[in-house]
Chain A
């Protein structure tokens, strides 16, 4: 397979207009089963039950959008473009994004199954089309929990990645990002354009108010197809079946600390 396009190290792309400001931020909004829903595996193992289930913006993507809006509101960016990929139903999530404050939205309309690499290719095509300087994404989607797309986009775009961000400071043509890592916090500096993925502590997303929902109806929401972007939805990894997780059995209940200590001793744990 030809992957020469992604292996070479190329010089950084020039900033749009050479200004000291980020011109355009692209934010990804994935439509996912709501955080509060406890999904059930279908009895035939063909998937999880999503019929009639509440759908929402992936919570990490909402944090990414909030960060993009704050960057724009500080005068450090001109435009925030919200992007979703999927069926027409994903318009709901884009309208919510517009109501939060995104300037416009793009729905990449497809009914095909997608995976991290295909989605990264879609975003790369959009980034090139739009000339974005910054892509803000959630660190993971709470449906497939893969946590790969931002890193893959950065790789094939040949640009920096700052994953699991808990603080983002834009300074001219660079961003200083504090990352939540297993050992604590790590700070890196990246040249823009770059991909940043949001962790939980980056910010608390704003609530959408009714007048904003009305205003959002007038904002542009464009649709493009995979063909328009020249991307094919070839999946390399297939999900063949699904099953519920192995259950842990409910154990014993003890009355007091003495009972707890003796139960721990019985198990040889203390």
Chain B
């Protein structure tokens, strides 16, 4: 039997849906018994949300004042203290999980399996390497705690009909003072979150300026979509870095992805290949994006974006 602890990602008030996708991944392990750990200063609402995820046995809450705006150096010792008795400890492969889980793994004296995309056995998995140009099968020792991050784009969100028990956990470990949270600056919060949005429209360097991204915003408004970008667009300063999709940015899996003026470098494609339907609009018919697009339109984006926005409004 596998006893699995999943570290919940949240913003202090609501649970990030990537947590549920980690549960879906964990449920693929034979005999999985899944608990979710919420580290927070006040866990109430987040824990209640986690308890509704189908497949969760129990939600553990670790409530401490230090867990408001917590950083990995403070979270990791608590996770390690509570990991005792679990065979697996999983977190999402987001910036939260990528920061925290390797620290947990090293404190447990184990290596980490990063970006699980497929569960082949309790200790064997598949994961992408080389920007998704290859898939590696990996095997971890069964006699050690398995610490891993989950490539959440590879998993569906579970149903939310559960009412798992919520228990307070004892997390009275000493925490370091060498790392202090100063502040956060979030991007455009009116838009759906890229990693969980059902629809995403993204722009590349061909948009040509920050102002021209307004055209993309209008299309996104018409679709209720999140806004993404290619590295080239971010490098050019047209849009904020947190919108970057791909190997070194976000890995997404919306039902509908519309790439506008994005050529489709392999590093970008790896971030979208799990999208339900990929639409590409590009004036270069040879652009590699068309090799993976379900629907391609070879056209000048400035000519077609307003028309498309009107048609979908």
Contacts and interface: CB of A to CB of B under 8 A. Distances in A.
Interface of A: 1, 3, 6-7, 9, 12, 33, 35, 38-41, 48, 60, 115-117, 120, 139-140, 142-156, 158-164, 166, 176, 179-191, 194, 199-201, 235-245, 248, 250-261, 263-264, 267, 269-270
B193 to A, nearest CB: 8
A184 B186 contact: yes
B253 to A, nearest CB: 13
Interface residues of B, number: 94
Contacts of B98: 147, 151, 163-164
23 contacts: A1-B144, A3-B109, A38-B133, A41-B133, A60-B248, A115-B111, A120-B106, A143-B130, A151-B72, A151-B103, A151-B106, A154-B103, A161-B73, A164-B95, A179-B95, A180-B241, A183-B186, A183-B187, A189-B180, A240-B124, A248-B294, A251-B293, A253-B296
A264 B290 CA distance: 16
Contacts of B101: 151
Given A147-B102, A253-B298, A257-B307, 9 more contacts: A48-B133, A144-B136, A186-B183, A188-B179, A200-B248, A253-B297, A255-B297, A257-B308, A261-B311
Nearest to A156: B106
B107 A3 contact: yes
Contacts of B175: 9
Contact of B144 (A7, A201, A236): A236
A251 B137 contact: no
A259 B281 CA distance: 12
Interface string B72-112: 11001100100000000000001110111111111111111
A226 to B, nearest CB: 17
B179 A160 contact: yes
Contacts of A248: 273, 278, 291-292, 294
Given A147-B114, A164-B95, A259-B297, A185 B134 contact: no
A201 to B, nearest CB: 5
Contact of B297 (A147, A160, A250, A256): A256
Contacts of B73: 154, 160-161
B94 A254 contact: no
A228 B194 CA distance: 47
A183 B184 contact: yes
A252 B295 contact: yes
A14 to B, nearest CB: 13
Given A243-B134, A245-B135, A191 B178 contact: yes
